[in-house]
Amino acid sequence: MKKVLFVCLGNICRSPAAEGIFKNLIKSRNVADLFIVDSCGTSGYHEGQKADKRMRAAAVKRGIELTSFSRALRSSDFEKFDYILAMDNLNYRKLLSRALTKSQSDRIYKMCDYVYDLSFDEVPDPFYGGENGFETVLDILEEGTENLLREILN
């Protein structure tokens, strides 16, 4: 069993989208039973909320339903999950600062380390931007999660 956690700031835009896309992908490849997949935020600002309406609408257009509710990162996540994927550099640093041991920090990766074709360094925060930002996030995540899955299964 592989355990994958996607992390952004609010857990209402980028990481719920990553969770939904990855779950969809592993289902379509018939490997869903090999995985536990979740997402969270380094902040608890939006605790208990569904994903942002704009993010959900953009995802639905690609056949992906986002059903998660926002939660904050917990200390126990560093023991539970094998792959902890930060959506941007700020949240990557926040994750590293919360890890207590090398074995915990070794589980932390940047989502964009798996994004080759689009060559983004971060998944840009779409919260205060326009409609376009949500499509860009989904494009980046579709490519990144595909490469991530290939690496995990190798």
Per-position x/- string for 3-42, each x denoting binding to ligand 4NP as judged by CB under 6 A, each - no binding: -----xxxxxxx----------------------------
Residue 51 CB, nearest distance to ligand 4NP (Å)?
8
Angle at 58 between CA 84 and CA 41, to 5 degrees: 30
Q: How many residues bind ligand 4NP (CB under 6 A)?
A: 10
Whether 35 contacts 5, CB under 8 Å = no
Question: Is the CB of 2 or the CB of 71 nearer to ligand 4NP?
Answer: 71
| Minimum gap (Å) between residue 68 Cβ and ligand 4NP | 11
Helix (H, G, I), strand (E, B) or coil at 68: coil
From 116, 55, 109, 113, select the one nearest 86 (Cα to Cα): 109
The correct pick among 69, 83, 109, 127 for binding ligand 4NP (CB under 6 A) is 127
Would you call 71 a catalytic residue per the annotation? no
Segment (H or E) for 2: strand 2-8
Q: Sign (positive/negative) of CA torsion 96, 77, 39, 108?
A: positive
> Is 125 marked active-site?
yes
> Which amino acids are annotated catalytic?
8, 14, 125
Residue ranges that bind ligand 4NP, judged by CB under 6 A: 8-14, 45, 125, 127
